[in-house]
Amino acid sequence: MRKSVSLVLAAVLALGLCAAASAGQEGTTNATIKFKEGELRFSTNQDAMNIAFGTHEIPVGAVTYGSVTNNTLSIADPRHPAGGWEVTVKREGSFTEVGNSKFEGVLTLMSGTAGHSGGEGIDLSEVSVTSNVVVGDTAQTVATAAADQTTGTFLIQWDAGNITLELTGAEAASLVLNSEYSETLTWTLEPIER
């Protein structure tokens, strides 16, 4: 009888081991990612700040034109905390066409707004966009962000019409028909005291 109990016990033990082997095995691994602080930089699409005033009849006197598209200046700030930066702009000084006809005009950034890639829930109370910036040949402050901001991309936007170009009557009288005038603007992004 002892022999049969031993055989039955050995058979049950063998079946249990076979069942355990066919049930599979589990194991664990890790997935890791590490983040480091990035550099403050412009991330503006190449055409986002090309300011267009459209095509118009030659004016017969002083005139002011508004921009015909929205313009957005994007500032990527992958630092933690973000902020502590300033954006300035200056111009060469004249709108020029191919034949070298020029006019200075008055280029003004009217009221702009600040946004953030994180959406509407981000506090932007310490990000300011300067209104009525007359862009000249010396750098003028356009926007600033105090230190301790939320990491992400800051969007400084001027809606269509919120950038203006004013010509005097004398400048209007000097325009060349069917000519496109352009000027170069230099935008500078610099960290300020954090």
Task: Render pLDDT for 124-174 as a digit per residue (tens, 0 to 9).
Answer: 999 999 999 999 999 999 999 999 999 999 999 999 999 999 999 999 999
* pTM passes above 0.95: no
Q: Please tell me the predicted confidence (pLDDT) of residue 120.
A: 85
Contacts of 11 (CB under 8 A, 6+ apart): none
Contacts of 168 (CB under 8 A, 6+ apart): 62
Into how many domains does the chain fold? Answer: 1
Query: Per DSSP, what are the bridge partners of residue 132?
Result: none
Domain that holds residue 138: 41-191
Q: Please tell me the predicted confidence (pLDDT) of residue 7.
A: 46
Contacts of 71 (CB under 8 A, 6+ apart): 48, 49, 50, 51, 157, 158, 163
Residue 138 within any structural domain of the chain: yes
Residues of the chain with confidence (pLDDT) below 70: 1-22, 194
Residue 23 within any structural domain of the chain: no
Structure tokens belonging to residue 103? 């006019």
Residue 35 within any structural domain of the chain: no
Q: Please tell me the predicted confidence (pLDDT) of residue 9.
A: 45
Q: Please tell me the predicted confidence (pLDDT) of residue 194.
A: 53
- CATH of residue 61's domain is 2.60.40
